[in-house]
Structure 1
Amino acid sequence: MSPKPVSLRPALTRRAAVVAGSAAAAALFATVPAAPAAAPAAPPASPTVTVSTTVVPLAARSATITLDPQAVAAAAPAAARRSAMQKALGKIGSPYRYGATGPNAFDCSGLVTWAFKSSGKSLPRTSNAMSRVGSPVSKSALQPGDLVFFYKPVSHVGIYIGNGKVVHASSRKSPVKISDISRMPFNSARRV
């Protein structure tokens, strides 16, 4: 008597759904910024991204992914901030020129507006006007991509990069560079 044939269809269907769901989740999480190096002990204030998959027959050869719209909306500004920070870091060494908005030379607010505009977010042109957009952030709660303002009244801006440092276009005497936040009189910070 020959053995009875075994159907692999249910197992293959489950496997295809798991693989498709895992690939989609990996693609989504690749766009979510990493947590700062010194994460606080308290749970994060921002919502988490939830991914759910629906199993579909193998014949359909696709998977449905449902995303929480609030989580996606919260992730978009964080991704723009991180992107702007990376673009500003890419301009280290570029010359300072008063009134310049890039892409080859910058003043402080020109660097910030250029970096954020390149990342899909428009900001006012001057540091003083920027200091009134977004949400206020305490110095102790800074995250990479936050705007940091200096002097009273506000006359200088940089982008926080973590570990107490900002990237900024400082003065005619120096190019775009990274500085310790404590080297200038801190005024305020905003998250856009």
Structure 2
Amino acid sequence: MECTRTYYELTLIEPNEEDILFIEKFRKWGEINIYLYRLMMGQNEVLEDYIEHVENEYEGEDEEILVAIFNIVQTANRFKYDVNFILERFKDKINLSHIGSRHEGEYSEQNWNTRLVNFFYELAVYYLSRSSYESGMKALISSMELSINISNDPYLIKCVNLYGEYRRFANEEINVKYQQILQSNNIA
């Protein structure tokens, strides 16, 4: 966190306009990252501040909002936080139709798709561990499909293992989809 504070507190003796823009950008990034680090250390009380700062800084940038939500879900899984209010608040941004529909942004297509695989897997873990089986299975199937599309075998294996753990809670539609995914990719 000390390095983050360094670029958060960046100053120049005689900054020009461009310097001021970059100093302000680094200050905002530093502030967001400090909240993120605190959240990832288990300080749940910064959650609202973190998401508010991300929303303000990245308004209209769905990719960055989703990255922040991924960080929140991952932390929720680690510390057993309830973040349903965040997921509800951003349900339109979390819409599973984000798979395959990517616009230009800061991330390469491969990097973004890998982030989505991770995101939907963590979302599945979150929902399944809270007995929200339908939402969890939908997120898990999305992670599986995208894992196959980008040849991310380690995450595909994690998805298959997680599915096996929660198989008894899958409805018929999810079971059929799961079998189709495996069969169409010569996995079954």
Give the number of the structure whose residues are more often strand, by fraction: 1
Q: Between the two structures, name the one with larger relative contact order (CA 8 Å, sep ≥ 6).
A: 1
TM-score, structure 1 as length reference: 0.32
